[in-house]
Amino acid sequence: MPDYPTIRLKPKAEARAIRHGFPWVFANEVVTDRRTRTLSAGSFAVLEDAERRPMGLVTVNPDSKIIGRMMDRNPEAVIDGDWIAAKLRIALDHRARLHDTPYYRLIHAEADGLPGVVIDRFGQAAVIQPNAAWAEAHITTLADALQAVTGVTCIVKNGSGRSRSLEGLSEDTAVLRGTLDGPVQVPMNGATYMADLLGGQKTGLFFDQRPNHAFAATLARGARVLDVFSHVGGFSLAALAAGATHALGVDSSAPALELAARGAQASNLGAKFETRQGDAFAVMEALAAENAQFDLVICDPPAFAPNKQALDAGLRAYERVAKLAAPLVAPGGYLGLCSCSHAADLSSFRNSSARGIGRAGRKAQMIHTGFAGPDHPQLPQLAESGYLKAVFFRLNS
């Protein structure tokens, strides 16, 4: 048995939740004596309950509120390249059944058994987000295993984002394997997207919205489309590929809109696509002043409620999005609203959206609810893994 140190739960800690699959141990649940505080971030330890019974092997970060993340229920497990490769092969088998092309989320953190690790695949390239201290410490081993299992020739480390700061990790983005010559073309839902793996948001593209893009596209034939918070054209390019007559992409990021326009050109849809840079709220107000209307309006904003403390303000922001978007929908048209805030559950988000539509003086039927695609599996015991929801309405008057 490896000579791991131990950390122990306090007597009143919720050991049952951990035994039933909850993957995190919070700092206030652990006996944090001097020995525990000296454990290095990203090291491994055996987690014991208050009676000193082993519960599994965790990775430890004394600098984080999540002091322990469950790695393996076997306290004697060895976390090395073979262990990581086994997790990758299981994940790869699932994605290969879902997709005919190698463009997908390969690893969705705890739900795929690699805590705090996100890996998106873009053909022969892949992006690793090591959002936990253990992954940062073992990034070379992760990259080696990823290359061995998938055969990718280019691997990018994207070390940015709020999750890393909560772990006490600095920002660091670099090409770890191979070379990268500009944005990567990604075929999806009949369109071609341009993903900037080094300088774009997150890993460069939001694969989680793929099924919601596809559903919106079923409403788009012959439609005028408004795609607000469009990023690289997620909804608008899929809508154009499905037969929309025109799409307007709105985003505050000029580089993202440039990638969207390049994607439209690569999809032979450039003549039907235009962009408008600016604050989304201000642009929607301006479009209303212009009496502009569209047959399909989609709003996919950033996480307005990234945590419970931001929930009330976030729900008000989602309500405002709906209130400003609803007048832009032509009678009989459709409105799609999205949230990637895990703190805002589906019911709260849906209610805020409906309230905003009502405040705009519109009546609506809710016709569809969407979530992240199956390459973003959820861990049932971890609500945070099911963050994305999309609600679609038909506005008849």
Structural domain of 44 = 6-72
CATH of the domain at 155: 3.30.750.80
Span 302-316, mean pLDDT? Answer: 93
pLDDT at 131: 96
**CATH number, position 385:** 3.40.50.150
Gap between the Cα atoms of 13 and 169, Å rounded? 27
Is 90 inside a domain boundary? yes
Q: Same domain, yes or no, for 262 and 386? A: yes
Q: b or e along 199-212 (b: 16 or more beta carbons within 10 Å of the residue's beta carbon)?
A: ebbbbbbbbbbbbb
Q: Which domain CATH number covers 63?
A: 2.30.130.10
- Asked if pLDDT for residue 184 goes beyond 90, the answer is yes
User: Would the pLDDT of 21 be above 90?
Assistant: yes
Q: What is the pLDDT of residues 316-368, one digit of tens each?
A: 999 999 999 999 999 999 999 999 998 999 999 999 999 999 999 999 999 99
Angle, helix 139-150 to helix 81-98, in steps of 10 degrees: 50
Domain shared by 287 and 355, yes or no: yes
In a domain, 384, yes or no: yes
Residue 145 in contact with residue 155, Cβ under 8 Å? no
Asked if 168 and 294 sit in the same domain, the reply is: no
Query: Quick check: 229 and 243 in contact, CB under 8 A?
Result: no
321 and 211, same structural domain?
Answer: yes
Could you tell me if 200 and 337 lie in one domain? Answer: yes
Neighbours of 389 (CB within 10 A): 23
**Are residues 248 and 270 located together in one domain of the fold?**
yes
How many C-beta atoms lie closer than 10 Å to residue 5's C-beta? 13
Residues forming beta bridges with residue 385, ordered by sequence position: none
| C-alpha 369: how far from chain center | 17
Reported as a single tens digit per residue, the pLDDT across 25-70 is 999 999 988 888 889 999 999 999 999 999 999 999 998 999 999 9
Q: Which of 226, 237, 227 is nearest to 263 (CA)?
A: 237
Query: Quick one: pLDDT at residue 1?
Result: 61
> Considering only CA atoms, which of 87, 22, 75 is closest in space to residue 44?
75
The tens digit of pLDDT for each residue in 163-182 reads 898 899 999 899 999 999 99
Q: What angle, rounded to 10 degrees, do the helices at 311-325 and 280-289 form?
A: 30
- For residues 88 and 220, membership in a common domain is answered with no
**Residues 93, 240 within the same domain:** no
Residues 68 and 89 in one domain: no
- Looking at the domain assignment, is residue 186 inside a domain? no
Query: Could you tell me if residue 1 is inside a domain?
Result: no
Q: Is the pLDDT of residue 315 over 90?
A: yes
Question: How many structural domains does the chain have?
Answer: 3
3-state secondary structure of 377: coil
For 186-210, write each residue's pLDDT tens digit.
Answer: 999 999 999 999 988 889 999 999 9
Q: Is residue 350 part of a domain?
A: yes
Check: CB of residue 213 under 8 Å from CB of residue 244: no
Does any domain span residue 265? yes
Largest CA distance in the chain: 71
pLDDT in tens, 258-303: 999 999 999 999 999 999 999 999 999 999 999 999 999 999 999 9
Please indicate, yes or no, whether residues 271 and 381 belong to a single structural domain of this protein: yes
pLDDT > 90: what percent of the chain?
A: 90
pLDDT at position 161: 84
Buried b / exposed e across 351-360, counting CB within 10 Å, b at 16+?
ebbbbbbeeb
Sort strands 117-122 and 125-130 into parallel, antiparallel or unpaired.
antiparallel
Whole-number pLDDT of residue 384: 87
